[in-house]
């Protein structure tokens, strides 16, 4: 089976390239009766949009979504929901000189190895432009999660180069903090630690001036997710979340909770101990853990504690400085990428990562509800 679908009960299928007519997503499994309009899709598309600030690519796309199906009189019908986002600023002439030369760090060579030929305009299907479809679908997932169980997904930048943010409580970070600085101006780097954010912006400006790019890391937090989501063996929710984040371009590492830090720890220091939590609305007790090194998941199933994930994102591979490479025939060549690229992928990565996390949580919520109600 080819790889353009994701999810089981909340399932997205996408199509589209960087320089074709547009990107489309079909979402299958959206429950009926959810209020939905393009206004629900626009905010996250705007957060992902190129040209949103001076530290991202200056390609100019409106990224205006059209709902093609699945909504009637303002509510979802339960049948498949399709969204189209047309490409407008395609300028494919920028890419003609890479037709026969492999850009380092890109999928040019691997697409040729796989398909025998490729759409060389801006990476075609391998371009991060395909994530517009994911972000639109993620907005639908977020709406569903919010209405169904009050869950909320927030992502933010925790590292750019060697600058690291200090985040005391991941579960307390708000969308407001991610999008707006305390002084009211836009938080263009999406780091909720204002001091770190300022230094990150400076670093990105500097690498851009030098014709270079810089990597970083993001943290994504899901709160309000009920205990019991996830499957016990292969479809552990941690496994599906990891796949979701690794399916995004440029991600080289994913961890949750204490993550790679667990390798140095002893069990006695690592285990999160259970405790009685606040009473549920119906008078019954809840169960919590004192700490959250387990990142909200045990045995691949949610515990009700916040889900906390981190992803490492490599520096943009496209560089305006010359790099050595080869042609399709393995002849030596030099390449300077002339397109409009992000000096750092992280600010625009945030809505993409949130979308994928929202889609996985929505999917497992639906799967769980089916099982739970069975008898």
CA triplet 202, 56, 67: central angle to 5 degrees?
A: 145
Residue holding tokens 């906390």? 308
Q: Which is nearer to a copy of itself, 173 or 251 (CB)?
A: 251
Tell whether residue 202 is a contact of a copy of itself (CB under 8 A): no
The count of chain residues that interact with a copy of itself, using the rule CB under 8 A, is 163
Torsion of CA 105, 111, 112, 113, to 10 degrees: 90
Do residues 146 and 223 make contact, with C-beta atoms less than 8 angstroms apart? no
Tell whether residue 339 is a contact of a copy of itself (CB under 8 A): no
Do residues 197 and 350 make contact, with C-beta atoms less than 8 angstroms apart? no
Do residues 347 and 353 make contact, with C-beta atoms less than 8 angstroms apart? no
Residue 186 sits at φ, ψ, to 5 deg, of -60, 140
Report whether 315 belongs to an annotated binding site: yes
Q: Which is nearer to a copy of itself, 54 or 246 (CB)?
A: 246
In the complex, least distance from residue 183 CB atom to a copy of itself, rounded to whole angstroms: 27
CA triplet 308, 313, 315: central angle to 5 degrees?
A: 160
Q: Which of 184, 267, 281, 283 binds a copy of itself (CB under 8 A)?
A: 267
Tell whether residue 38 is a contact of a copy of itself (CB under 8 A): no
- Bridging pattern class, strands 287-289 and 274-276: antiparallel
Q: Which is nearer to a copy of itself, 28 or 179 (CB)?
A: 28
Q: Which is nearer to a copy of itself, 173 or 362 (CB)?
A: 362
Map residues 56-95 to x or -, x wherever contact with a copy of itself holds by CB under 8 A: ----------xxxxx-x--x-xxxxxx-x-----------
Report whether 299 belongs to an annotated binding site: yes
User: What is the DSSP secondary-structure string of 173-197?
Assistant: --HHHHHB-TTSSB-TT--SSHHHH
Q: Which of 130, 193, 219, 354 binds a copy of itself (CB under 8 A)?
A: 130
- Bridging pattern class, strands 152-160 and 163-164: antiparallel
Q: Which of 313, 355, 358, 361 binds a copy of itself (CB under 8 A)?
A: 313
Tell whether residue 222 is a contact of a copy of itself (CB under 8 A): no
Cα–Cα distance between 33 and 71 in angstroms, integer? 9
In the complex, least distance from residue 187 CB atom to a copy of itself, rounded to whole angstroms: 19
Report whether 86 belongs to an annotated binding site: no
* Tokens at 85, concatenated: 């986002």
Binding range to a copy of itself, per CB under 8 A, among 40-48, 54-62, 190-198, 288-296: 288-296
Q: Which of 43, 105, 224, 339 binds a copy of itself (CB under 8 A)?
A: 105
Q: Which of 170, 230, 347, 351 binds a copy of itself (CB under 8 A)?
A: 230
Cα–Cα distance between 229 and 363 in angstroms, integer? 9
Please state the length of the chain: 375
Which parts are annotated binding residues for NADP(+)? Answer: 48
Binding residue positions = 48, 125-127, 299, 314-318, 340
């Amino acid at each position: 089976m080819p790889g353009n679908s994701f999810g089981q009960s909340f399932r997205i299928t996408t199509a589209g390239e960087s320089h074709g007519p547009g990107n489309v997503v079909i979402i299958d499994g959206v429950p009926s009766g959810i209020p939905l309009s393009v206004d629900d899709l626009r905010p996250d598309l705007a957060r992902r949009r190129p040209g949103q600030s001076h530290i991202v690519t200056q390609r100019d796309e409106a990224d205006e979504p059209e709902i093609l199906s699945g909504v009637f009189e303002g509510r979802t019908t339960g049948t498949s929901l399709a969204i189209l986002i047309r490409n407008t600023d395609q300028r494919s002439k920028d890419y003609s000189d890479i037709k026969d030369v492999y850009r380092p760090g890109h999928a040019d060579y691997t697409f040729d190895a796989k398909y025998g030929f490729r759409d060389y305009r801006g990476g075609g299907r391998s371009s991060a432009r395909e994530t517009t479809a994911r972000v639109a679908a993620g907005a639908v997932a977020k709406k569903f999660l919010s209405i169904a169980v009050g869950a909320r997904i927030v992502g933010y930048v925790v590292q750019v180069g060697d600058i690291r943010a200090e985040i005391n409580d991941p579960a307390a970070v708000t969308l407001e903090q991610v999008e707006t600085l305390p002084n009211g101006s836009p938080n263009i780097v999406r780091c909720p630690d204002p001091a770190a954010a300022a230094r990150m912006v400076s670093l990105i400006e500097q690498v851009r001036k030098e014709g270079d790019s810089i990597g970083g890391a993001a943290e994504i937090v899901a709160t309000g997710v009920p205990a019991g989501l996830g499957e016990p063996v292969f479809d552990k929710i941690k496994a599906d979340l990891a796949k979701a984040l690794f399916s995004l371009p440029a991600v080289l590492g994913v961890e949750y909770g204490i993550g790679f830090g667990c390798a140095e720890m002893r069990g006695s220091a690592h285990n999160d101990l259970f405790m009685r939590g606040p009473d549920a609305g119906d008078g019954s007790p809840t169960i919590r853990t004192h700490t959250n090194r387990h990142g909200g998941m045990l045995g691949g199933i949610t515990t009700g504690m916040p889900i906390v994930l981190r992803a490492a994102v490599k520096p943009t591979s496209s560089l305006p400085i010359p790099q050595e490479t080869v042609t399709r025939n393995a002849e030596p060549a030099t390449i300077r990428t002339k397109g409009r690229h992000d000096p750092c992928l992280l600010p625009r990565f945030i809505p993409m990562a949130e979308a994928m996390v929202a889609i996985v949580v929505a999917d497992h919520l639906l799967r769980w509800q089916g099982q739970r109600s069975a008898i």
